[in-house]
Amino acid sequence: MRKNSIKNTRINGEVQKELSNIIRNEIKDPRIGMMTSVTAAEVAPDLKTCKVYISVFGDDEAKKETIRGLKSAEGFIRRMLAKTINLRNTPELTFVLDESIEYGVTMSKLIDEVTHKEDKKDEENEENYRAWRKAGKPDVVIGMVDFSELYPDQTVTESDYVLVAEIPYTFIWKASYFYGYVPIYVRKTIAEEKDIPILYDPQLYGSMDSIFERTK
């Protein structure tokens, strides 16, 4: 990409401003939507050509119609531009659809949706936590659990459970494979009563967090 000089940058800004005014106030073509804006103008150093980047709020058909309307009005736009800006040459205009703003709006909506889902998930987790606390000591726990958060009063602690199994899983994200294990814990008294083989005893090997270190 050519690096613009200070003079060329100033010309680009002036052309963008005047084109915005012309398109907004002077053109009456119904094909050109009201939500049409000039996002940038790139004038060649020799002032013979200019790329005009256009953002259109609407569907694909509205965007196509707007570009058609602008192309048909190019002669009029150039004459108006020549009256408002004193340039050695009035550049020929090429209108290019710029979808960066719409892309940004779409990405913002997706982020909001993900954030909303995460908030909802947190609420559901909190409800599950309350249900667990109300139920007392569960016999079986599937997945990693923060007992200190689940039972801040320490009525149930990590030492009350032992790891009896690890279920392997695989998932694909962004064309990459990820592997892991889902731990299954059983209340220690039940494991001893039912003679369930113990895969991992936190009292012997430390915190359950070391499971992840062992399975990497």
% of the chain exceeding 90 in pLDDT? 19
**Cα gap 180→188, rounded to integer Å:** 24
pLDDT digits (tens, 9 = 90+) for 60-114: 888 899 999 999 999 999 999 998 888 888 899 999 988 776 666 666 676 677 6
pLDDT digits (tens, 9 = 90+) for 163-179: 887 777 666 665 566 66
| Beta carbons of 171 and 209 less than 8 angstroms apart | no
**Cα gap 103→125, rounded to integer Å:** 33
Average pLDDT, rounded, for the chain: 76
Distances (CA, A) of 69 to 20, 115, 200: 15, 40, 72
- The pair of structure tokens assigned to 195 is 């003679």
174 phi-psi bin (left φ>0, alpha ψ -120 to 50, beta other) = left
Domain ranges of the chain: 6-98, 136-215
Domain topology for 6-98 = GMP Synthetase; Chain A, domain 3 (3.30.300)
Nearest to 16 by CA among 100, 105, 91: 91
Whether 42 has a pLDDT exceeding 80, the answer reads yes
Cα 203 to chain centroid distance, Å, stands at 43
pLDDT computed for residue 157 by the predictor: 72
pLDDT digits (tens, 9 = 90+) for 129-167: 666 555 566 777 777 777 676 666 666 777 788 888 777
